[in-house]
Structure formats: structure tokens, C-alpha cells
Amino acid sequence: MSPEAIVTQAQQTECAGITYTYTEPTIFMEIAHDTAKIANSKGMFNTFVTNGYMTPEAVDYIAPFLDAASINLKGSANKEFMQRYMDVPKSEPIYNSMVRMKEKGIFIEITNLIIPEIGDHGDDTGTLAEWVVENLGPRTPLHIIAFSPTFKITGLPRTPARMLEKHIKIAKEAGLTFVYSGNIGGHDYENTYCPECGFKAIERYAVYLKKNHLNDQGRCPKCNADLNIQGVRWMGEGTSRLKFF
Ligand SMILES: [Zn+2]
């Protein structure tokens, strides 16, 4: 499909935006860029789900058209784990990308896959969370997600809920406000709780939104606290960036 055809199909199916994912988007950066540029000009949002392993030039290339990015880490970015299981020689470019994206006004969320036995590094979760607090801010959403055996790693068990909860606790103690569980449908940490008054502001089940209680400004309906939720308000043709609710 051409970039034009992708955007046209997204419009025809009334999508508010396009996410570049499943295959790492930097693999097809040129077509992502050209598609995002057209989508942006039509008032749609663009988001990446990425491993974050990119050059500063790549970040700058996509930044004018990229509204948000989910940076996917694994094994709490433990150096030995990344070298052995991901063929990532060094993780510095990923951290540099996140800082540069933040500087460019791209909304960032981070995902961290916890894998039993080989990718269950509590100390590294603490180090990662501290880095996020310091460099991206304490309100940056962090998703601690469960592994399930597939493809080349079939000899390990699914990540148990208590293991995720251990890492969530560590990340919260390091100062992060919004830490979520992932890949365990029905887990309480899928929901967004207001850090000020404790109200359950957004209810989710797995990848589904069950109830959104946010007020018209995208804030807590009970105490009006800002929950750092980015949402799309359809502003019509010619608008570009993600707007608050
Ligand atoms: Zn509240």
C-alpha cells in the first residue's frame, strides 16, 4: 500500500489516527514518515510502538509528525539480558532516543516485559524507574507486562501476577505515579486511579476500555486532578497534534 492509500483507508474506516507497530517502525521509517506526514495534514494522530533503538537523526526525521510513542523494553533493560537475548550491544541509544523524543514534545509511555527466570531483574526495574523519574518525569506511564511462551522461547512459564506486582511496587517506590500491569486481563493495575483522591477514573479489561469517567478536561471527575492522560479530541481537518480530552 502507498502512504496515500493507508491514510485514505484509515479515513474511510473513521480512524482518528494511525499506529506504526508489530514490525519495528524504524525498519520501514521512510514509509512511516511519508504516511505520518499525510495523516498529520488530515488532522489524524500518529504513534509508534518501538524498541527506541534509533539515531538522533531518525528521531528528528519523524518528530514533526509523531504525537506519541510507546518504547518497549524487555527484562528491565538489564545489560546482559539485552546483549544475550536481544542482540542489543548497548542500551544508551534507547535512553538518548527517549530524552530526545520528550524534548521534541512527543508523549512517551514505556513498556517493560518481565520474563520469568531470565528477565526478572528487580534491581534493574528500580534503576529504570529512577532514570524515568529524573529524565522523563515522575508522571510518565510505565507498563509492566507479562510474558507468555512463544516463538523462540517456549520453555519458560507465563509471568505470574505476583511477579509483575513485585516490579510494579519497586517502580512506584522509585517515584513513578502511573505504573500499570499488562497482559493479565482483569488485573486491578490495568485501571487508572487518581493519585490525589484514589478514585478509579478509567476502568479497563485487557486491551479494552470499560469505563472512562474523566471529565471534559480529561481530569479526575472527583477532584479535578490532572492524570496525564492524552486523548484525541477530533478537531477536524487541518489540526495535527493530540489534544487533551
Ligand atoms: Zn481525584
Q: Is residue 106 located within the same domain as residue 165?
A: yes
Residue 211 domain-assigned?
yes
Please report, in tens digits, the pLDDT of each residue of the chain (245 residues total): 999 999 999 999 888 899 999 999 999 999 999 999 999 999 899 999 999 999 999 999 999 999 999 999 999 999 999 999 999 999 999 999 999 999 999 999 999 999 999 999 999 999 999 999 999 999 999 999 999 999 999 999 999 999 999 999 999 999 999 999 999 999 999 999 999 999 999 999 998 888 889 887 888 999 999 998 876 554 444 444 444 44
Residue 44 domain-assigned?
no
CATH number at residue 143: 3.20.20.70
Residue 27 domain-assigned?
no
SS3 of residue 53 by DSSP: coil
Q: Is residue 91 located within the same domain as residue 171?
A: yes
Q: Tell me which of 142, 161, 186 is where a domain ends.
A: 186
Residue 86 domain-assigned?
yes
Residue 41 domain-assigned?
no
Q: Is residue 100 located within the same domain as residue 165?
A: yes
Q: Is residue 170 located within the same domain as residue 94?
A: yes
- CB of 115 within 8 A of CB of 77? no
Ligand 1 center from residue 15 Cα (angstroms):
30
Segments forming the whole domain that contains residue 69: 51-186
Q: Is residue 98 located within the same domain as residue 153?
A: yes
Ligand 1 center from residue 204 Cα (angstroms):
17
Q: Is residue 171 located within the same domain as residue 228?
A: no
- pTM reported for the whole predicted model: 0.93
Ligand 1 center from residue 217 Cα (angstroms):
13
Ligand 1 center from residue 196 Cα (angstroms):
5
| 51 vs 209: CA distance, rounded Å | 25
Closest to 127 (Cα-Cα) out of 193, 63, 79, 194? 79
Domains held by the chain: number = 2
Residue 113 identity (one-letter amino acid):
L
Residue 28 domain-assigned?
no
Ligand 1 center from residue 174 Cα (angstroms):
22
Beta strand segments in 41-106, E: 45-50, 68-74
Ligand 1 center from residue 194 Cα (angstroms):
5
Ligand 1 center from residue 193 Cα (angstroms):
8
Q: The cell 527466570 sits on which residue? A: 117
Q: Which residues, 6+ apart, have CB-to-CB distance to 163 below 8 Å?
A: 114, 116, 120
Ligand 1 center from residue 69 Cα (angstroms):
26
Ligand 1 center from residue 231 Cα (angstroms):
18
